[in-house]
A and B are shown apart, each in its own frame.
Chain A
């Protein structure tokens, strides 16, 4: 547990992705089974339990500590679990020392000061209240032991068990244990990042991990056996598992120029979320592009998936044949349960565009056009409810296609996909096979209002920006109203220039944030704009990013809120 706790501790303070990867890869490389597998399960949100700890903890601390002192401590720290980890009085560990603090001129007692790696020896007269408790030294529990015992004990035994564990752990261990039990680590690591670390440890790609991931269960021993070359790759052929997706590259001008239209097939790029349907043997799963099964939020779709296939498509909200805005789809995302009202108001739908397996046959080596033909034939026969096919776009020439691309402002369409007709289905992001050609973004000239320090490498730079546009204020004056926030996305040289500008034009500082005088104009690009009651301006931009710095443009000539309002669709 100590190693896992130290890992979580470092992760929680490390802002950089690379540092996190290094810390995790080191951990997986040097930790034994099954502990590392359980750690991986915890980091990928795959532990088979979570306990509502609140009452247990309250009862435990009522027995352990003076209530006034606990209340003051909790107030200061702001988090119950962390408070308990901090105030917990571990039983003495270095024999019957009557007082670790005796002796004029001696300072602290030896065992307390020089013992490395064990918790500080507590004061024998516990300041937390209550009398000294004679307890035998408790060994530090292993992560795997904790997990296996948790699977067995009932909820009413948890308090007593917890007490024993907390006694055996140091402060970091106690904090980590309580986080583990609540099921929310919150150390800034996504499941994808943890898998990437496992891949880096073994020198394989994260796609290789994803390919076998859903055929495995914690503590993932067959995974490590395979990665360390001690055994075969886990078998996934028939398992209803997620297969890594084939991804596309953004189409740049040079790519477009070089592109031969005859080699490519075009279809609309839908503004929903990419999903993989895995159905067979009476099961139906809906995986997001990161491999999370989101089927539970979409019973209206999954209930109709009674076939044997693995399909690629876009999850959308569709009403009367019309694709609704992404905002509508968001009402259905990240929900544990879904209400009848939501099912009616935001009906889900899948628009299919590719097939990986049909009736047990792996189609991934076939060219795109053949897979498409198979998909069409299969769909015409099976025709599952709430699905349709993403139509192909017929264009005779590149000019014609470009006109279609430029003209589209239809809701639900983000641009055009170009797929090589002979491309096999390749996991990852192979170059030159699939292109995404997003429609030109909307742009607006905005004025920098606030700048905030970044984190990690950027912590000495003002690299996060809140910008606004003009509107009429009271008494005929005009004022800036914030409309969005974006991170730095320029060269290091430009970052330095903006940082300098921010420091020289600061009018007020609040901690890491500086308010600046209106004077710097950003050309902000964004995909769409929607009404929002959460924003002061009444609108919210989708994917705002800073497109260009307009050093040349006076702030007074930046855009007005009305211009942005006019861009709202639907």
Chain B
């Protein structure tokens, strides 16, 4: 039976998803001998592995965040280049989530499994677009795996931010954004919308922006809030979500607090955060995109790694496919 086959060579152990014939784990949560890392977010890219295989951008991000000794050795693999590992063939396909993010595509005995990591379908000026991989087994996340999550068009949300700046020109607009990926995308979206003033950054966001620029992503003029000589009225300031209510904000002028996240679609979530301007900008698929993608891969079987798997597994059944919740632990929603 086909269903038994996938579970023979893709198993769960204490560290996460393991490809036994290939001798590697994917995004393991504990140190392992050999790991393939889909992208640089800290819940997927952890330190201490013997050898790490990833895209050059992901390796650069891991080195910058975790230090040069983050793994025993690093091996770069570009998108689309096949490589043989044990009894399987592996290639990385763009996932569209953040810079360097990849799906892991494994072929074994004529069957193909695509492990998507985190992914999105919207255009993102800072990431190579998602590649739809036709496969037999699709392993998906379900961060926004509920029908209530339908992300608005990015341009609409950026438009709301700029409208607020026009309505409250004397107040600082302080946006909480995850430091890797979201921050840079937000800046790129603002630039695409024609916002060309300097954008001010909390110290914790600077290193990753510098790295993106180094890797060839244009972010326009960035400034450090630490260097500001005023309380930044009417300016856009970005900070990590944890700093939104921090004492640090007292250096700003009556800030309008905004938060860029897919969670902002649900009012209670926005209110819990004390957010005045919720911006639904996400680096994950929304519900229609998850369902559409699952359908388009042509996969007969779909595994759901982490997130809100109940609804998605139910929907996979409605699509006539076999769905399975892996309920992987150790993955956070907080970053989004």
> Residues of A at under 8 Å CB distance from B?
10, 12-16, 19, 22-23, 26, 65-66, 68-70, 72-73, 76-79, 82-83, 86-87, 99, 101, 103-108, 112-117, 120, 122-123, 125, 127-129, 171, 175, 453, 455-457, 459-460, 512
Within the complex, the shortest CB–CB distance from A6 to chain B, in Å, comes to: 8
Contact between A107 and B147 (Cβ–Cβ < 8 Å)?
Answer: no
Task: Provide the residues of chain A in CB contact with B154, threshold 8 Å.
Answer: 113
Stretch at the interface among B9-17, B33-41, B260-268: B260-268
Contacts of A73 in B (CB 8 A): 146-148, 311
Nearest-CB distance from A507 to chain B (Å)? Answer: 20
Contact flags B312-325 to A (C-beta < 8 A → 1, else 0)? 00110010000000
- Could you list 5 examples of A-B contacts with CB < 8 Å? A13-B276, A76-B308, A78-B268, A104-B132, A105-B131
Q: Quick check: A99 and B292 within 8 Å, CB to CB?
A: yes
Q: A101: which of B94, B121, B274, B278 is its contact (CB, 8 Å)?
A: B121
A115 touches B153 (CB 8 A): yes
> How far is the CB of A365 from the nearest CB of chain B, in Å?
43
Complex Cα gap A38–B141 (Å): 45
B151 touches A120 (CB 8 A): yes
Segment with Cβ contacts to A, from B53-61, B195-203, B283-291: B283-291
Inter-chain contacts of B274 with A (CB < 8 A): 15, 453, 455, 459, 512
B254 within 8 A of A: yes
- A15-B274, A22-B167, A72-B311 known; 11 new pairs, CB 8 Å cut-off, are A13-B277, A69-B314, A69-B315, A70-B147, A86-B148, A86-B149, A101-B289, A101-B293, A106-B129, A113-B154, A127-B287
Closest chain-A Cβ to B323's Cβ sits at a distance in Å of: 13
* Residue of A whose beta carbon sits closest to that of B150: A120
Q: How far is the CB of B142 from chain A (nearest CB, A)?
A: 12
Contact partner, A107, options B129, B148, B288, B291, Cβ 8 Å? B129
Determine if B124 is an interface residue (Cβ-Cβ < 8 Å). Answer: yes
Residues of B within 8 A of A457 (CB): 254
Smallest Cβ distance from A201 to chain B, in angstroms? 14
Q: Which B residues are CB-close (under 8 A) to A101?
A: 121, 289, 292-293, 296
Which residues of B pack against A, CB within 8 Å? 94, 96, 121-124, 128-132, 146-156, 159, 164, 167-168, 245-250, 254, 257, 265-268, 270-271, 274-278, 287-289, 291-293, 295-296, 308, 310-311, 314-315, 318
Complex Cα distance, B287 from A66, in Å, reads 14
- Find chain A residues with CB under 8 A from B295 CB: 125
User: Which residues of A sit under 8 angstroms from B288, Cβ to Cβ?
Assistant: 122-123, 127
Q: Which residue of A lies closest to B319 (CB)?
A: A125
Nearest residue (CB) in A for B271 is A13
Tell me the smallest distance from the CB of B211 to a CB of chain A, in Å.
23
Q: Say whether, besides A101-B121, A101-B293, A107-B130, A77 and B268 are in contact (CB < 8 Å).
A: yes
CB-based contact A69/B153 at 8 Å = no
**Within the complex, which residue of A68, A115, A123, A175 is in contact with B292, where a contact is CB–CB below 8 Å?**
A123
- The answer on a CB contact under 8 Å between B292 and A107 is no
The answer to whether A26 touches B167 (Cβ under 8 A) is yes
B122 lies within 8 A of A14 (CB): no
Tell whether, in the assembled complex, residue B250 and residue A460 are in contact, meaning their CB atoms are under 8 Å apart.
yes
Task: Name B152's contact: one of A65, A171, A453 (CB within 8 Å).
Answer: A171
**Neighbouring B residues of A115 by C-beta, 8 Å:** 153, 155
Q: Which residues of B contact A76 (CB under 8 A)?
A: 146, 148, 266, 308
Contacts of A68 in B (CB 8 A): 311, 314
Q: CA separation between A83 and B289, bound complex, in Å?
A: 19
Which 9 pairs from chain A and chain B are nearest by CB? A123-B288, A86-B148, A107-B123, A127-B291, A107-B129, A87-B147, A72-B311, A108-B122, A73-B148
Interchain CB contact under 8 A, A125 and B291: yes
Report yes or no: A13 in contact with B270, Cβ–Cβ below 8 A.
yes
- A65 / chain B contacts, CB cutoff of 8 Å: 147
A453 to B288, CA, bound (A): 38
Q: Which residues of B contact A106 (CB under 8 A)?
A: 129
Q: Please tell me which one of the listed residues A16, A77, A105, A460 contacts residue B148 in the complex, with CB atoms under 8 A apart.
A: A77
Kindly state the separation between the CA atoms of A120 and B121 in the bound complex, as whole angstroms. Answer: 14
In the complex, what distance in Å separates the CA atom of A73 from the CA atom of B147? 7
User: Is the beta-carbon distance between B318 and A66 smaller than 8 angstroms?
Assistant: yes
Partner of A113, one of B131, B155, B265: B155
Residues of A within 8 A of B271 (CB): 13
A175 and B152 alpha carbons, distance in the complex (Å): 15
Q: Tell me the minimal C-beta distance from B5 to chain A in angstroms.
A: 26
Are B292 and A113 in touch, CB under 8 angstroms?
A: no
Contacts of A125 in B (CB 8 A): 291-292, 295
Most buried by B among A26, A66, A117, A127: A127
* CB nearest to B128 among chain A residues: A105
- What residues on B are CB-neighbors of A26 within 8 Å? 167
Question: B residues within 8 A CB of A108?
Answer: 121-123, 289
CA–CA, A76 to B121, complex, Å?
A: 24
B291 touches A13 (CB 8 A): no
- Pick the most buried of B254, B268, B311: most chain A CB atoms within 10 A of its CB: B311
In the complex the two chains form, what is the Cα distance from A135 to B32 in whole Å? Answer: 54
Contact A107 to B311, CB < 8 A, known contacts A13-B276, A22-B168, A127-B287: no
Q: Name the distance in Å between B321's Cβ and chain A's nearest Cβ.
A: 13
Q: Is A13 within 8 A of B278, CB to CB?
A: yes
Please indicate which of the listed interface residues B147, B149, B246, B315 has the most CB atoms of chain A within 10 Å of its own CB. Answer: B147
Closest to B295 in A: A125
For A123, give its contact among B94, B122, B257, B291 (CB under 8 Å): B291
Instruction: Find the residue from B129, B148, B268 having the highest chain A CB count within 10 A.
Output: B148
Residues A113 and B122 in contact, CB atoms below 8 Å apart = yes
